[in-house]
Amino acid sequence: MDMRGRIAVATVTVALLLGGCASTSPTQTPAVGSNAALAPSPVPAGPEVHPATGDAARRAAEVTAAWPGSPAQQAWEHGYFPTEDTTEWLADGAFHSGDDKAAYYSGRFDLKTTLPVAVSGTAEVQFADGSRLTLPQRTAQAVLDSLTEKGGVCPGDCGGRLTITAVQPGTTTVATSRGQATIPVWEFTITGYDRPFRYPAVLPQAQAGPAHGPNSEPGSTWLRSVSSDGLVLTATVPHGTCSTLLPGEVYETDQAVVLIGRTAPVTPDPDHVCDAALRATPVEFRLSHPLGTRAVLGLADGRPQALPAQH
């Protein structure tokens, strides 16, 4: 092999070695924007790389650096904060018909059984490491109330109703900020369905972030959901009526993630009036690897964001 050949081989070898080395520094991963109905224009999507830069990246670095060992982290790692939707678990095959679905979501239920009565008023969450956490119990009556309160005045023929024939305690496993946890649930048996509809008997603790979600500070977001594989996070991004959403950015470390929303002003149509209302549009953010037990921290306040509690 001549000299030029040996140089080419050496160059390729070095490139492969460098490409295979894992970095321990934070990564800034591009987010994939969703087409949001509330936005003035669609969020651009595609494979483009949009690394976090400028003031938002510097702030994200400060936030993630302050997280390890902080009181907020201690609370996050010792509380009950689901990282998946725990509103309900529908029975297999739900729904058998359009009438059943309409009855369910409009709160048309007939109770043909006696509801269990809470004894202690508390329930226990058990984590994979064996630790336990005692929380206030959500009663079966509270679950039923949440199902029926969706109903209202129904003019004309409202269609069918669903009959609850049994309610009993059970358990299910959910993903949380502390890993997998077994939580108590109420299992509602409904006529026509072989398996019960299940609802949590405990609710997530108070959200660690702001009570009312994101503010209007540039880059702020608020977590709404996590995909089943932990790779895609959906968060709302605040914006004005005359701004458009851009693909967001993700700043990641091995312990935390910061989502950065991005907007840009647009020239309004002459017939369009820009009002002062603040909108919040869902945007999808893709991570470089599954979220796992990492916390999603707010860019503005540095607090962990739990999924919205369902009551």
Pinpoint the alpha helices (H) of 106-236.
140-148
d(C-alpha 12, C-alpha 282), whole Å: 43
- Mean pLDDT value of segment 180-186: 96
How many CB atoms lie under 10 A from the CB of residue 306?
Answer: 23
Q: Averaging pLDDT over each range in 152-166, 208-222, 289-303, which range is the top one?
A: 289-303
Per DSSP, the three-state class of 17 is: helix
Least confident of 24-38, 117-131, 144-158, 240-254: 24-38
More reliable by pLDDT, 269 or 185 = 185
- pLDDT (tens digit per residue) in 123-132: 999 999 999 9
Q: Averaging pLDDT over each range in 42-56, 66-80, 143-157, 200-214, which range is the top one?
A: 66-80
Which stretches does DSSP call E strand in the chain?
Answer: 27-30, 109-111, 122-127, 132-136, 162-176, 179-190, 197-200, 222-226, 232-239, 243-252, 256-265, 279-286, 295-297
pLDDT (0 to 100) of residue 147: 94
List of domains in the chain? 26-79+207-297 (no CATH), 98-200 (2.40.128)
- pLDDT (tens digit per residue) in 60-96: 999 999 999 988 888 888 899 887 888 999 999 999 9
- pLDDT (tens digit per residue) in 220-252: 888 988 888 888 999 988 887 778 888 889 999
Q: Indicate whether 158 pLDDT > 90.
A: no
37 token code pair: 């109905």
| 63 in Cβ contact with 256 (< 8 Å) | yes
Q: Comparing C-alpha atoms, which of 30, 63, 101 is closest to residue 301?
A: 63
pLDDT (0 to 100) of residue 44: 37
Q: Comparing C-alpha atoms, which of 164, 181, 163 is closest to residue 172?
A: 181
Least confident of 58-62, 67-71, 115-119, 276-280: 276-280
Prediction pTM value: 0.64
pLDDT (0 to 100) of residue 26: 53
User: What CA–CA distances, in Å, run from 105 to 190, 195, 198, 208?
Assistant: 14, 18, 15, 30
3-state secondary structure 234-246: EEEEEECCCEEEE
pLDDT (0 to 100) of residue 178: 86
How many CB atoms lie under 10 A from the CB of residue 11?
Answer: 10
pLDDT band at 153 (very low <50, low <70, confident <90, very high): low
d(C-alpha 163, C-alpha 165), whole Å: 6
